[in-house]
């Protein structure tokens, strides 16, 4: 079961649910305009599997490069060790990349879109670069992870872009707004969370000569920067609610408050009160919960609309 822990299978389940959820959105809207998605369910499932390979490879290489740091930051939660050595982890990493690459090549050939395949090596390389150097630099590493979070629904949009272009104006605008909102929501909430995680991991990072935001600017300024991105997140949520005002019935408006705004303010309150490593870990988990509730909101929004 060590390998399941290594690839963070709960996070992969969330990624898969996200992409299948957006695929369901696409199918419903495309059906209204009699548009057939370029990927049927079996091939879309392969697209999801490719995304999971990218994410899993990122988790594995990150644990490999973070081994010394994790000995300080989370010695009680170490995955690599005697039962799953770094050498085995490298082999597992190579296997994941190979399998994902084969699937990505097949899908690109199936839909006759070479650019769909090129995304695969680019994202794998980007996550490798993040693990090797970018995560040790202020903000750039946080932005890379946030980019990948936005990429999860974004790749679905990219794969089905021809169908999007053929949508009627009303359906097309509504679906694009839905995708854009969640991509922006995922981006800012991820940066917000990643900075909090950097504060949580301050001691281990400084011992290993990393240059994360808390180390370069200090914890006080890091908290301020996290507040800035939290404000961007709040603005994006409020913009979504205002822009969809005419579409929001009383039930959806209530859900907007309960599933979007309330979790946001709970996480912000937790950050304001945070003082210890455990406090920052709790805040990080609250932000993760907020992101999951954001997915639930989109699901209910689509059903009730």
Tell me the pLDDT of the chain averaged across its residues: 87
Q: Which pLDDT score is estimated for 113? A: 81
Domain that holds residue 85: 2-304
Compute the half-sphere exposure of residue 133: CA atoms within 13 Å on the CB side of its CA.
3
Look at the chain and report how many structural domains it folds into: 1
- In the predicted structure, residue 291 carries a pLDDT above the cut 90: yes
Say what percent of the chain tops pLDDT 70: 94
Give the residue-averaged pLDDT of 203-224.
Answer: 85
- Residues 178 and 104 sit within 8 Å (Cβ to Cβ): no
- In the predicted structure, residue 69 carries a pLDDT above the cut 70: no
What's the Rg (C-alpha) of the chain? 20
Lowest mean pLDDT among 19-33, 154-168, 241-255: 241-255
Q: Which pLDDT score is estimated for 85? A: 78
Lowest mean pLDDT among 30-44, 61-75, 129-143: 61-75
Q: Which pLDDT score is estimated for 47? A: 94
Compute the half-sphere exposure of residue 185: CA atoms within 13 Å on the CB side of its CA.
26
């Amino acid at each position: 079961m060590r390998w399941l822990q290594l690839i963070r299978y709960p996070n992969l389940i969330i990624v898969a649910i996200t992409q299948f959820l957006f695929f369901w959105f696409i199918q419903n809207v495309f059906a209204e305009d009699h548009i057939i998605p370029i990927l049927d369910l079996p091939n879309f499932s392969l697209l999801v599997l490719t995304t999971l390979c990218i994410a899993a490879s990122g988790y594995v290489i990150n644990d490999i490069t973070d081994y010394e740091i994790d000995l300080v930051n989370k010695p009680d939660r170490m995955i690599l060790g005697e039962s799953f050595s770094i050498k085995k982890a490298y082999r597992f990493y190579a296997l994941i990349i190979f399998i994902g690459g084969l699937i990505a090549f097949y899908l690109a050939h199936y839909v006759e879109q070479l650019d769909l395949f090129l995304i695969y090596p680019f994202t794998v390389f980007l996550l490798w670069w993040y693990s090797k150097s970018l995560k040790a630099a202020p903000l750039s590493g946080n932005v890379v992870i946030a980019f990948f979070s936005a990429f999860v629904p974004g790749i679905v949009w990219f794969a089905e872009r021809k169908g999007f272009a053929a949508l009627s104006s009303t359906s097309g605008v509504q679906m694009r707004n839905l995708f854009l909102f969640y991509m922006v929501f995922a981006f800012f909430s991820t940066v917000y969370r990643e900075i909090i995680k950097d504060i949580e991991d301050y001691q281990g990072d400084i011992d290993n000569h990393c240059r994360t935001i808390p180390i370069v600017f200090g914890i006080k300024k890091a908290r301020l920067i996290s507040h800035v991105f939290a404000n961007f997140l709040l603005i994006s949520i409020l913009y979504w609610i205002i822009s969809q005002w005419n579409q929001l019935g009383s039930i959806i408006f209530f859900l907007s408050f309960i599933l979007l705004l309330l979790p946001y303010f709970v996480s912000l309150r937790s950050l304001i009160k945070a003082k210890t490593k455990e406090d920052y870990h709790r805040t990080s988990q609250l932000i993760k919960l907020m992101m999951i509730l954001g997915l639930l909101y989109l699901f209910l929004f689509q059903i009730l609309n």
